[in-house]
Amino acid sequence: MTASCAYFITGTDTCVGKTLVSSTLLHVLAQNDIRAAGLKPVAAGAELREGVWHNEDSDALAAESSVKLPPELAAPYLFKEAAAPHIAAALEDVRIDPEHIHACYDRIADMAQAVIVEGCGGFRVPLTERFDTADLAQQMNLPVILVVGLRLGCLNHALLTADAITARGLKLVGWIGNVVDLGMPHAMANMEALKARLPAPLLGCVPRMPSALPSVAAMHLDFSLLPGWPVKAAAQSENLG
C-alpha cells in the first residue's frame, strides 16, 4: 500500500493549533474508513509515564490515527526538554538526521492510505546547524496546510509564512484560523484580510473550545477543499453527525 494523499501541517508560530488540526484531519479520515497515520518527526517536551516517554502532540496524533504505529516510527525524534529542536537534541547528544525522518515517512506511507505530517513550531524552526523545518518540508515535497493563530500580529506572521512556503517551491493548499486570543479585536476583519491575500482557500475557523476535541473542531472545517482529499464533503458531515 502506498499513501494516496499526504499533507504537511505548519503554523504561524508555536502553540497555534497545529496538533489540533492534524488530529482533526486524522479523525475525519478514520471516521470515513480511510487508513490514516500521523507523523510527528520531531517532538520536544516529553514526560515519563509508567516507564515510557510521552509527548502530548505525538500522543494526540496516535490517538486519532487508524493505523497504529510503533512510537519510534510515529515520533522518530522525541526529546525531554521543551525547547527548540536543535537545542533539545544537543542536550541529549543527538543529531537529527533528515534521512531517518524520510525513511520513517516512507515506511508509514507504505502502511497507510493517508499520512499527516505535523511540523514543529513555525515554518523556519532549526533542526540542526544548517537544516530547519522548511528544508524538511521542501525535501518531503508535500502540499502544505497553514494554521494561523488568531491573535495580534497574525496578519504579518501568516503572510510571511505563506511567502516562505512559496519560496521553497511548495504548494500552500489551504489555511485554517484558530482562535488563540479570545480578546483579539477585529478578529473577523483579520480573517477577511487573510482571505483576500493568502493564495489558498480558507478551510474554516476553529473557535476557542473548553477542550481541544478533534470531533468538535471537525464541525468547523471543510477539508473537501483540499486537493487529493479522499472524503467527500457530504460523507464527512454525515459521519461526524
State the CATH number of the domain containing residue 206: 3.40.50.300
d(CA 145, CA 74): 20
Residue 52 predicted with pLDDT over 90: no
Using 50, 70 and 90 to split pLDDT, how confident is the model at 19?
A: very high
From the CB of residue 15, how many other CB atoms can be counted at a distance below 10 Å?
11
Distance, in Å, from the CA atom of 239 to the CA atom of 76, rounded to the nearest integer, reads 32
Q: What's the number of domains the chain is made of?
A: 1
Among 19-23, 32-36, 44-48, 118-122, name the one with the lowest average pLDDT. 44-48
Grid coordinates of 169? 517551491
Q: Is the dihedral of CA 66, 222, 138, 92 positive or negative?
A: negative
Residue 241 has pLDDT above 70, yes or no: no
The residue type found at 48 is L
Domain extent, residue 148, equals 5-239
Given a cut of 70, whether residue 73 has pLDDT beyond it is yes
Diameter of the chain by CA atoms?
50
> What local confidence, expressed as pLDDT, does residue 234 receive?
59
Q: What is the pLDDT of residue 54?
A: 86
Decide if pLDDT at 33 tops 90: yes
The length of the chain is 241
Which pLDDT value is given to residue 51? 80
What pTM was estimated for this model as a whole?
0.95
- The per-residue pLDDT for 42 is 96
- How many C-beta atoms surround the C-beta of residue 107 within 10 A? 15
Above 90 in pLDDT, residue 233? no
**pLDDT tier at 37 (50, 70, 90 boundaries)?**
very high
- In this prediction, residue 138 carries a pLDDT of 97
Which value, in Å, is the radius of gyration of the alpha carbons in the chain?
Answer: 17
Closest-CA residue to 200 (of 171, 233, 160, 178): 171
Indicate which residue of 18, 40, 171, 195 is catalytic. Answer: 40
Using alpha carbons, list the distances in angstroms from residue 228 to 3, 5, 71. 11, 6, 27
Is the predicted pLDDT of residue 238 greater than 70, yes or no? Answer: no
Active site residue 171: no
61's grid cell: 496524533
Cell of 38: 500521523
CA distance 61 to 24: 9
Percent of the chain whose pLDDT exceeds 70: 96
Other beta carbons less than 10 A from residue 54's beta carbon: 17
Reference 18, options 46, 58, 51; nearest CA is 58
| Residues 57, 108: Cα–Cα separation, whole Å | 18
pLDDT digits (tens, 9 = 90+) for 121-149: 999 999 999 999 999 999 999 999 999 99
Q: Which helix H or strand E contains 216, and what residues bound it?
A: helix 214-217
